[in-house]
Every structure is written in structure tokens, then in C-alpha cells.
Structure 1
């Protein structure tokens, strides 16, 4: 029963979120933050190709020996593992946050690649941004309305989080 309540609560939040954001007036601030992808697909293909060639060069010395099959198996496992984790990295890089500010509404929609999307709606008057250094992260950015605190841009670099804070702060100051 708890699972069903969580699902219905999540559905209620998403319905309320889309009702609040489906409006005729344009937001005063509309920004989508995405995770940075450091290795493009072309680089991925080149990397796997170069690793395969580099693995096969020393394997030539073992042709005809039983050791060749053991080394080949280890090489294939290594390449498959690298392939899996790079593909997972590409999936993770679809993580994004869509931040919109209207005179009466502040919304954040977080698209999670392997989980349900998360939504936050509040009045921009009550939003306070906090940028702090923690033992885990430098320039950790949070937004709060007094009831709930959310993190913003956790996947960004510290410099990008500072820039995001400045952009949102500027938009909020224009409202006040």
C-alpha cells in the first residue's frame, strides 16, 4: 500500500507541476542545465578501435599457444567492461534540470536517466539560494523555500554552479 501511495503522490506532483508550467505567458527565466559529455561518440569509436588494435599487437606473439586464448579472453573482458561503462556514462549524461521562473512560480524539473523525474514548484518570493563548500563538493548549490531544500546542478563543475547561482539570483532580484 505504501508503494501505491508513493506512486499516486508522485503522479499528483507531476500533474500539479505541468498545470503550473502549461501557461500562455513566457517565463522570465528559462534555463536547461545539462551534464557535460567529455567524450563525443566519434571519440568513443576511436578509443575502442585503438584499444583493440593495441591489444591485438602483442597477441601475435602467442599465436598457436594455449596462452593466446587466455590472453584473448582477458582482453575481450576488458574491452567489454570499458564499452559498458562508457555507454553507462552516455546514459548518465542525459541528466538535466529545467529551471523556469515566472512572477508567481519558480519550477525545477529534473530529468533522471534511471529514475523517475523530480519536480519542484514554489513561489519565487521565498526562494533562497545557498552556495557553500562542503567536504564532498566545492560550491555546492542549493535552493530552499523554507519548507524543502533541493540541490541544483550537482553534476556541474564548481565554476558552472557559481554562474548558475548568479543567473538565477539576477532573475530573482528583478522580480523583487
Structure 2
């Protein structure tokens, strides 16, 4: 599953109430998101080998004839094109979204291959997690809104994963706001002052 929670503590805080994180203190929770990889690298190698073998089978009938030399460039070209396009797909899918949460700071960083990282920061107290059932680029579109900006989160995930992500982020932000940590009582965004 392309969702990984890092550093999410579940225990109750030592001191409850609003607190500020000290400089250099580890985050209360960290979320990593990345696109699905339905074909791992090992499977990719097996697929290319199987494709090469299947493309060679028709050439066996024309082995030793001049027709072989007429067909061979097309067969090898098709294999090279398949390999190149699949490699491009792997490179385009090298995206990592990292959401880091402290008691008084939230930071979202989106890193994509050959592009500068995109960063969004806000105070978690004022961050709202939105689930747009319709109207977004994908169904059940998840956004974070705060500091005057609204940013997307996990648009490459499946619809079910985005719905689950929305709920877990709402719960987590509520716990961070209520206690200053990810443990303790729950207070949802609807309980925040307007």
C-alpha cells in the first residue's frame, strides 16, 4: 500500500494542553505517500524477457531466409519501444508526498523526479482536511487548506485510499490540536473556533 505512517505515537502525552515543539524535535507524525507500482522491477525484467521470447517465435519460421532481416528490425524496434515506454512510466511515477506534523506546525513536501520540491506549511490548528466527492480531478479528492492556500494530497491514490486518508488525517489533526500530541482525546475540526 502506498501509504506509510512514520513516528505516529499513540500513547497519552506527559503534559496535556497546547504546546510548541522545540527546534529540532522529531515530528509527532509523518506520512509518506507514493503512487502504486503494479509491476515491480523484477516483474518488469520477466515481462521484457517473455515479450522478447514471444516476439522471436514468429521469426523461427523465417530463419535462414532474407525475410528474417526484413522482420528483425521491426521486432527489435517494438521491444525497444516497449522497454523505453515502461522505463518512462517508472520515472514519471517517482513522486513522494511527505506530510510532517508537529503540535504547532504542518509541512507538506511533494518531490517529483527532475522537478524542484513543492512545499506548503501551516499551523495545524487552522488546517482543515477537505474531501471533495465531486468536482476535483479525481473522485473523493483530498485537500489540505490553511495559510491561505489549498493543496492536494494523494491524488494518485485509489478512491478508497483517499477516503481512508481523509478520515485518518481528520482524526490525527484533531488529536494534535486537542493535546499537542497524537495521543489523548479527540477533537475534530468541527470543534475548532471559527
Normalising by structure 1, we get a TM-score of 0.80
Give the conservation status (yes or no) of the 8 Å contact 1:28–1:171: no
Whole-angstrom CA distance in 2 between matches of 1:67 and 1:134: 55
Change (3 A) 1:160 1:115: same
Name the Cα RMSD after superposition. 2.0
Give the conservation status (yes or no) of the 8 Å contact 2:131–2:143: yes
Q: How does 1:15-26 map to 2 (within 5 A)?
A: 23-26=23-26
How many pairs align? Answer: 156
The structural deviation recorded for 1:87 is: 1.2
Whole-angstrom CA distance in 1 between matches of 2:26 and 2:131: 28
Report what 2:103 is aligned to.
Answer: 103
Report what 2:113 is aligned to.
Answer: 113
Higher helix share: 1
The structural deviation recorded for 1:146 is: 5.6
Of structures 1 and 2, the one with the larger relative CO (CA 8 A, separation 6+) is 2
Task: Specify every segment of 5 or more residues in structure 1 that has no aligned partner in the other structure, as ranges.
Answer: 1-20
Task: Specify every segment of 5 or more residues in structure 2 that has no aligned partner in the other structure, as ranges.
Answer: 1-20, 179-194
The structural deviation recorded for 1:93 is: 2.9
Q: How does 1:129-140 map to 2 (within 5 A)?
A: 129-132=129-132, 133-134=134-135, 136-140=137-141
Whole-angstrom CA distance in 2 between matches of 1:117 and 1:142: 18
Give the conservation status (yes or no) of the 8 Å contact 2:122–2:147: no
Q: How does 1:1-176 map to 2 (within 5 A)?
A: 23-132=23-132, 133-134=134-135, 136-145=137-146, 147-174=148-175, 175-176=177-178
Whole-angstrom CA distance in 2 between matches of 1:138 and 1:81: 33
Q: Secondary structure at the match of 2:164?
A: helix
Normalising by structure 2, we get a TM-score of 0.73
Whole-angstrom CA distance in 1 between matches of 2:63 and 2:144: 61
Whole-angstrom CA distance in 2 between matches of 1:122 and 1:101: 10
Q: Secondary structure at the match of 1:119?
A: strand
Give the conservation status (yes or no) of the 8 Å contact 2:109–2:117: yes
Change (3 A) 1:86 1:163: same
Give the conservation status (yes or no) of the 8 Å contact 1:130–1:142: yes
The structural deviation recorded for 1:113 is: 1.1
